[in-house]
């Protein structure tokens, strides 16, 4: 998905564009520890780490370069950003308040010889661009990790600016 996908969608709100893409935000998930899914300070919302979950169901397990293919990793990253959007919506009430996706930090559990982390995190970046258009284009980091919680292949954090 790209800016062309965004331009082809008829929906005028992020929620309408999600619906056009066949995406329903899952119920808010209980955090895995003593934290909350998102925190607002001023005009910035810091969205905590979200992994490969659809609601309470974990969709992917394993490492890139071993059990998980790049395509499966991209799907996992997409699911992680959908989960993050659920926390964001719960925090701010309406995704139309987003004026800019500022930063996406992508963590990829991978073998030492796997070097395609940016391709994996594109699964999340492409969806953000499709949903928010130019405001969804963000600064990003995509790095490899030896392991992530619950054997997740991908975990994402976001910083978003709101009106």
pLDDT in tens, 11-41: 789 999 999 999 999 988 888 789 999 999 9
pLDDT in tens, 79-128: 999 999 999 999 999 999 999 999 999 999 999 999 999 999 999 999 99
SS3 label, residue 28: coil
What secondary structure letter does DSSP report for 67?
A: T
154 CB burial (10 A radius; 0-12, 13-18, 19+): buried
CATH of the domain at 85: 3.30.1330.40
Q: Mean pLDDT across the stretch 130-150?
A: 96
Structure confidence at residue 1 (pLDDT): 56
Structure confidence at residue 28 (pLDDT): 85
* Strand ranges, E, within the chain: 38-41, 44-51, 53-54, 57-58, 98-109, 139-145, 154-162
DSSP for 10-27 reads --SSHHHHHHHTT--PPP
Tokens of 118: 């940016």
Residue for token digits 């994996």?
120
| Torsion 137-38-49-28 (CA) sign | negative
pLDDT for 7 beyond 80: no
pLDDT in tens, 63-82: 999 999 999 999 999 999 99
User: What domain count does the chain have?
Assistant: 1
Query: Does the predicted TM-score (pTM) go above 0.85?
Result: yes
pLDDT above 70 as % of the chain: 98
List residues bridging with 161 in a β-sheet.
44, 100
Q: Mean pLDDT across the stretch 144-152?
A: 97
Residue-range definition of the domain harbouring residue 64 = 3-162
SS3 label, residue 34: coil
């Amino acid at each position: 998905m790209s800016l062309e996908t965004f331009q082809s969608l008829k929906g005028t709100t992020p929620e309408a564009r999600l619906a056009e893409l066949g995406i329903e935000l899952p119920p808010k998930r209980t955090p895995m520890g003593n934290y909350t899914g998102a925190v607002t300070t001023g005009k910035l919302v810091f969205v905590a780490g979200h992994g490969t979950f659809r609601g309470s169901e974990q969709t992917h397990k394993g490492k890139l370069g071993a059990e998980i293919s790049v395509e499966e990793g991209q799907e996992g990253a997409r699911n992680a950003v959908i989960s993050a959007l659920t926390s964001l919506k719960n925090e701010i009430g309406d995704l139309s308040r987003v004026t800019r996706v500022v930063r996406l930090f992508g963590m990829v559990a991978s073998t030492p010889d796997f070097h395609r982390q940016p391709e994996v995190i594109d699964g999340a970046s492409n969806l953000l661009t499709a949903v928010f258009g130019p405001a969804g284009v963000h600064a990003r980091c995509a790095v490899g990790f030896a392991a992530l919680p619950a054997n997740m292949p991908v975990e994402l954090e976001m910083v978003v600016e709101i009106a």
